[in-house]
Structure formats: structure tokens, C-alpha cells
Homo-oligomer: A and B are copies of this chain.
């Protein structure tokens, strides 16, 4: 996490630096990303970065924390108990996520590109830990849906949780694969990931739900 020196910086400078690195890590994997390039574009010395952060990984973890904190302000509002079933809840998560994307394109792009780092050797452990937590959360949700009688009870909650987890990722990947969204281009044009594509996104989510609810619901 950042050193005191970084926290002491004036807000505008902190933002300048944060944004520049978000931009770099939104387009490249951890190992590809070059601090040397970013400081050049920022017009500051390489050494300065090491006054602010312990090392590259420390900087990267700061960016993750920063972005998830911001995203949580949006999706954290969505509570299961406010929705009639898991699927409405799931859809609402995406709707709030869309708003996050719209209002914080850079943060959104960074998180979107995070999956590209999943096998970058230097951050594999970090990523595995994050994945573990996310999957646990989905398993917990599945468990609750089974207990409350919403989901069938003849399939292990672990398999259900894992597939729900994969479902979220699959939607994002399918949109990218089919060319509906194009992160590399969007970030260059300073646009959100899902700019102009809300309808398509919602439609695809609904199709996935329509397909999978028959598999999960009791």
C-alpha cells in the first residue's frame, strides 16, 4: 500500500498519477506494463514512484483497492433481500455496475482488464486469492438460495456457486468476443467499457438468465 509520501500529495497530483497508471494497467498485463513509460508520459522521475510505493506490485494493489472501493459504492447498495429472486438481484448488480462504468470509465476499464492478469506470473498469487474470495461469495449465495428453497437441492452448492461465478465472467467475455464491446478502442476514445451498449448488455444478461434459471430454480 502507498507510503505516507504519496498520501501527503495534493489531490490533483495523486489523481494525475493514479489515472496514468490506471490507463497503463487497463491496456497491458502486469508484466507488460512499464513504469518507465508511465513516468515518462507523466514527466516525473522514476525514483519518485519509489517514494510513493514499495514496488510495482504495491502500486498495483493500490490500484485494485482504489477501484474496488469506488465500485463498491455502486454495487454495494444492491441487497439480495430487496429482490424477489436471485436473478433479479443478479441483473440489478449489472445495472449498478453499468452506472459505475459510466461515471468512472478509467476505474471500470482497469477492473475489466484485471482478468487479463489472471495468469501473469508476478500476480498469480494475488489473483488466486481474489478469485477464492469471489467464488466463496457465490458459493455462499448458492447455499442460501438452496436453504430458502429457491434453488434445487440435488446439486452441490459448490458447483452451483462456481457456475454462477463463471456466468458473470462469461457475459463479459461473450460481449468482447462478439465485438459488441472493444475495451482497447474505448479506452483510447476515453469512453466507458459499455458506452452506448446498455441495451445489448441487458439483453444478453436476460438471455443468460432465461437459459440458466431453469437449471437452478426448484
Interfacial residues, chain A to chain B (CB-CB below 8 A) = 28-29, 31-32, 115-121, 131-132, 135, 154-156, 158-160, 162-163, 166, 170, 173-174, 177-178, 204, 207-208, 210-216
The answer to whether B121 touches A119 (Cβ under 8 A) is no
In the complex, A211→B159 CA distance in Å?
Answer: 9
Chain B residue with minimal CB distance to A208?
B159
Residues of B within 8 A of A158 (CB): 174, 178
Residues of B within 8 A of A170 (CB): 162-163, 166
A-B contact pairs, 5 of them (CB 8 A): A118-B119, A155-B207, A155-B210, A159-B211, A212-B215
The answer to whether A162 touches B177 (Cβ under 8 A) is yes
The answer to whether A174 touches B162 (Cβ under 8 A) is yes
- When the two chains form the complex, which single residue of B29, B31, B119, B155 contacts A211, counting CB atoms closer than 8 Å? B155
Residues of B within 8 A of A155 (CB): 207, 210-211
Residues of B within 8 A of A28 (CB): 121
Minimum distance in angstroms from A1 CB to a CB of chain B: 26
The answer to whether A32 touches B207 (Cβ under 8 A) is no
Residues of B within 8 A of A214 (CB): 214-215
Minimum distance in angstroms from A209 CB to a CB of chain B: 10
Chain B residue with minimal CB distance to A29?
B119
Given A31-B31, A117-B119, A163-B170, answer yes or no on A177-B135 (Cβ-Cβ < 8 Å). yes
| Closest 8 A/B residue pairs (Cβ) | A215-B215, A116-B119, A214-B215, A162-B174, A166-B170, A211-B215, A214-B214, A155-B211
In the complex, A120→B32 CA distance in Å?
Answer: 9
The answer to whether A211 touches B216 (Cβ under 8 A) is yes
In the complex, A155→B31 CA distance in Å?
Answer: 40
The answer to whether B211 touches A32 (Cβ under 8 A) is no
The answer to whether B211 touches A160 (Cβ under 8 A) is yes
